[in-house]
Structure 1
Amino acid sequence: MKYYLSIALFGLLLVSCKNETKTEASNTSDVHKVIAQEVYHVSEYTYIRGLEEGSEKWIAGPTTNIKVGETFYYDKSMEMPNFQSKELNKTFEMVYFVEHISQTKEGLDRPMVSGTNMTGTGSQRTTVERKDIKIEASESTITIEELLKNKEAYNNKVVRLKGEVTKYNPAIMNVNWIHIQDGSEFNGEFDLTVTTTAEVRVGDVVTVEGKVTLNKDFGAGYKYDIIIENATRIK
């Protein structure tokens, strides 16, 4: 999902990968201490060229107020070789996508929050704003409420939903990551993450069809209680 690697996530991470990019997740619990040498902010990520024990590396994480010369810490990371950022118009030989960036070691121990009202529909930390949206389901679509209420029944099945795009993170691991809302909710959850090759814009009302996957774990803290994968946009 701000954030996926976001991905969110993940971010589930805002940047783009080359085709057939290999990703490697590192689940080490070691704390890394890095000094920022260069800092770039894009729509929802911060890229930092950091110096760690005499070696330079590029690190990307959720937007953070780190300045050149400051020390920061991270632990879990996901390696992304030959990574291309469209927003920066730059290809990195290697980027380490991190779960979060902290200015103190203690900050790495803060608890993770789950729920589909969080970016990444899982273990992300940035709250997704609930939009004032009211989109009715058609005969061929279901609502987000229906999906969340009966997610076990829909697991591994193809569903079709209609909603408004509230977040768009293009070209991460060769797909675009979008969040949709339709105004419905279940147990306080109202936002759904979808991966697709279709290009959309925030504010577009789209109908998407894709496979429901539960408990998806991409590593480095990018976990999704529920996600729609490989969706197509229905015109």
Structure 2
Amino acid sequence: MLRFMFVGDSMTIGSAGEHTWRYRMWQHLRESLGDGAFAVVGPRSTLYDQAAGAPLSHDYADADPDFPRHHLAGWGEGWLHMAPRVADALTRDPADVLLVSLGLIDLGFYTNAEQTAANVRAFIAGARSANPGIRLVLLPVIPNIRAASDAPFAAEVARFNELLAKTVADLDTGGSPLLLASPPTSYDIATDTYDGTHPNASGEHKLAGAFAAAMAQAWGIGAPAVRARELMQPIG
């Protein structure tokens, strides 16, 4: 059985009333791998409650009792925060594959591109210290409203994404493989987010699709496209 852990910031934890891309990915894995072939693990399970300003909500949009809500994601948390936490998380909840979407919050509030890339390396080292055979799929920073209107910030995002690709190339090994997922080519902050940053239903499907495509193409895990049920079209 493959054990997956979702790691991310506000786009991954989601807020009260959302499905989250974690849910879309779970549906995809269940359809393409089958029940019993995988598990979703992690030390956290809540959504962020924007009214309370804390991750206190269990109000997922779909109340499917089978959906495993476990994750390692936090509103306002980035590589800086997850690097020192990942080893303990994997010790508590062993996983085989980490699906990681981080970086925007780091660049927006905490670290520059070079410092953020250093934290990526620390994160990978921490994950491998807990599981030397861990697999990681890393998503670059995707389009967002600040990058669309702030040219220096957009340049910093582009620089970080270059460094992330180099990090994956430098640290990829046969025993602990790394994948760089491709950002969805059709991702549009006007139609795939509700505020220019956080994904709506179509954005959730596209983020899940980015991870699905990477794993299917490189590792033969699952199908390469996520079926968008309510959107009535496949999104890769």
Structure with the bigger percentage of strand: 1
TM over 0.5: no
Larger Rg computed on CA atoms: 1
What TM-score do the two structures reach when normalised by structure 1?
0.24
The structure whose residues are more often helix, as a share, is 2
